[in-house]
Amino acid sequence: MCAALNHLSLLTSGPAGGLQAALFASPAAPPEPPVTQLPPQLLDDKGKLKCFNPKLDPSQREAVEFALRQQRLAIVHGPAGTGKTTTAVEVILQHVQRGQRVLACAPSNSAVDNLLQKLGNAGLENMIRLGHPARIEEDVLDFWIDKWVRYLQDDWDGRLAGDWKRQPGEIELKRKVIEEAHVVLCTLAIANARGPLNLTEKGGMFDLLVIDEASQALEAECWLAIPRAKKLLLFGDPKQLSPVVKTRSGEKEGLSISLMERQMNLHGAAATRQLEVQYRMHGLIQGWSAERHYGGLLQPDPSVARHRLCELEGVSDTADTGSILLLIDTAGCQLTESPPDETRSRSNVGEADLVAAHAAALAAAGLQQADMAVVTPYNLQTAVVRTALQRRQLPNVEVNTVGGFQGREKEAVLLSLVRSNKRRDIGFIGKSDLVNVAVTRARRHLCIVCDSNTASAGVELASLLQHMREKGEVRSARAYEAQLSPEALKMFRKGL
């Protein structure tokens, strides 16, 4: 990454020169205006954009057309559940339709494979995946470059004999595959100057670079791929978890600010479109996030706006499954957090018992374990929660940290905030991006277990808890006394 940043000063000319100027708002290269007329092969008989996916909502269609008209930079801000990747697929297909080559990247292998899978489902075939096979999902391995090479080697007589006087070697075939692919997919790290794209000068340059989950990527990572393209399209949500910076000095120097966030601050509406319809959350679950983080513009699609757990097959309508928002408050119950371990992680046995008890109530009403998840800011708490779930014969309820669950969703999400202390110290759990991610994982039911007296010391959490009180149901942890473990019960009775 250091080499990529050092190379920036050399990107003053050539195909990537204009893009570099745009990303730094160079006075010597003023922004190029959007094109006024799209290519005719993209239009229907009425002169309107002909989408491959007819189910795109108006904000998605607007984002696609905006991306096609932009000459250097386009940003699509997609809050949770709004179909960022669906929109990215449409943009890629449209660029392929106009005869352009696309490099599609993401900071993680899982995000790359998700995009690859959706492109395959949309009917795109001429694409390849770069990377180590152990890090590629099995169901998309057929697109791995080495499999393409082996296919060509096995079919030498039928496919290549007319083009070559001799049977080519592996490097030559890889070069051919890369040069002829309409779309190449890889992680940002693989797009570096020493990676497989460097096998060929022609195959290593693209008309468009798409970076999915761009808000989670370090800017330095993005510059590994940017020199390979004339135009850049960023998809993500800066209101969710930012790139991981392992040193405080690096964070102070601004490394936690993603390229996407910097470009949104630099160019604003001139380069950005926001997706405005989400297809995941009940209206009450998304309501707080929509107002707090997205200016009230985010709306639930009618298909999810009022959906509930008890509408799922086999799930009974009970006091637990009927609620959308549930706050189980441990304030005054002395269910305090543990001291930090050697990694500075924390746990809370009482909260673990409470989320396990509520998960058991949901399971008793018919909700499948696979449809539930417990999320928490602390890794140590995940182990304590798993133990509590095992005691209740609920081994298949997923337990993860908030960061580990980003990009995922479940019908019911139980959030354990852990912190409970007399100092009202909440540590990092009040960070706005972390809280936003935690809340927006739930589709039909969100349960928060916390000490409201401690949690409300943070402005973000205080706002969320106020929303839970106004729009949902509040229960005291005292109602669960009979379901606490001996360890938690001992603490609980000290508070009586």
Is the pLDDT at 13 greater than 60, yes or no? no
Of 227 and 1, the one with more pLDDT: 227
* 274 and 177 in a common domain: yes
What's the residue count for the chain?
496
Domain boundary among 263, 278, 293: 278
CB atoms within 10 A of CB 174: 22
Strand partners, 236: 77
pLDDT of residue 159: 59
CA dist 248 → 6, 220, 345, 435 (Å): 23, 17, 17, 21
* 299 and 270 in a common domain: no
pLDDT interval class at 254 (50, 70, 90): confident
CB atoms within 10 A of CB 39: 13
How large is the average pLDDT for residues 248-254? 70
pLDDT of residue 495: 54
Of 201 and 316, the one with more pLDDT: 316
What three-state secondary structure class fits 104?
strand
Host domain of residue 451: 283-495
Burial class (CB in 10 A: 0-12, 13-18, 19+), 367: buried
Number of separate domains in the chain: 2
* 161 and 46 in a common domain: yes
* 324 and 245 in a common domain: no
Q: What is the mean pLDDT of the chain?
A: 91
DSSP string, 160-208: ITTT-SS---HHHHHHHHHHH-SEEEEETGGGSTTSGGGG-TTTT-BSE
Listed range (83-92, 198-207, 368-377, 401-410) with the worst mean pLDDT: 198-207
Per-residue pLDDT of 52-105, as tens digits, reads 999 999 999 999 999 999 999 999 999 999 999 999 999 999 999 999 999 999
Per-residue pLDDT of 105-144, as tens digits, reads 999 999 999 999 999 999 999 999 999 999 999 999 999 9
pLDDT of residue 1: 53
Residue pair 96/107 in contact (Cβ under 8 Å)? The answer is: no
pLDDT interval class at 483 (50, 70, 90): confident
In whole angstroms, give the CA distance from residue 298 to residue 269: 17
Domain boundary among 249, 278, 307: 278
- On the CB side of 291, CA atoms within 13 Å amount to 9
* 337 and 262 in a common domain: no
pLDDT interval class at 14 (50, 70, 90): low
pLDDT interval class at 485 (50, 70, 90): confident
* 298 and 241 in a common domain: no
Residue pair 443/296 in contact (Cβ under 8 Å)? The answer is: no
In whole angstroms, give the CA distance from residue 428 to residue 479: 29
pLDDT interval class at 28 (50, 70, 90): low
| Element (DSSP H or E) covering residue 76 | strand 73-77
Is the pLDDT at 166 greater than 90, yes or no? no
pLDDT of residue 420: 97
pLDDT interval class at 484 (50, 70, 90): confident
How large is the average pLDDT for residues 10-30? 65
How large is the average pLDDT for residues 243-263? 80
pLDDT of residue 32: 79
Residue pair 77/264 in contact (Cβ under 8 Å)? The answer is: yes
Residue pair 218/58 in contact (Cβ under 8 Å)? The answer is: no
* 467 and 406 in a common domain: yes
Q: What CATH number has the domain bearing residue 227?
A: 3.40.50.300
* 175 and 271 in a common domain: yes
Per-residue pLDDT of 255-305, as tens digits, reads 789 999 999 999 999 999 999 999 999 999 999 999 999 999 999 999 999
Is the pLDDT at 11 greater than 60, yes or no? no
Taking 3-state DSSP, the helix, strand and coil percentages for the chain, each rounded to the nearest 5, stand at 45, 15, 40
Listed range (148-162, 326-340, 371-385) with the worst mean pLDDT: 148-162
Percent pLDDT > 90 in the chain is: 77
Residue 480 contacts by C-beta under 8 Å, 6 or more apart in sequence?
328, 353, 354, 357
Domain boundary among 278, 295, 326: 278
DSSP string, 345-386: ----HHHHHHHHHHHHHHHHTT--GGGEEEEES-HHHHHHHH
* 342 and 227 in a common domain: no
* 241 and 120 in a common domain: yes
pLDDT of residue 17: 63
Q: Name which of 387, 390, 455, 444 is nearest 416 in CA terms.
A: 455
How large is the average pLDDT for residues 210-222? 95
* 90 and 237 in a common domain: yes
CB atoms within 10 A of CB 236: 26
* 292 and 266 in a common domain: no
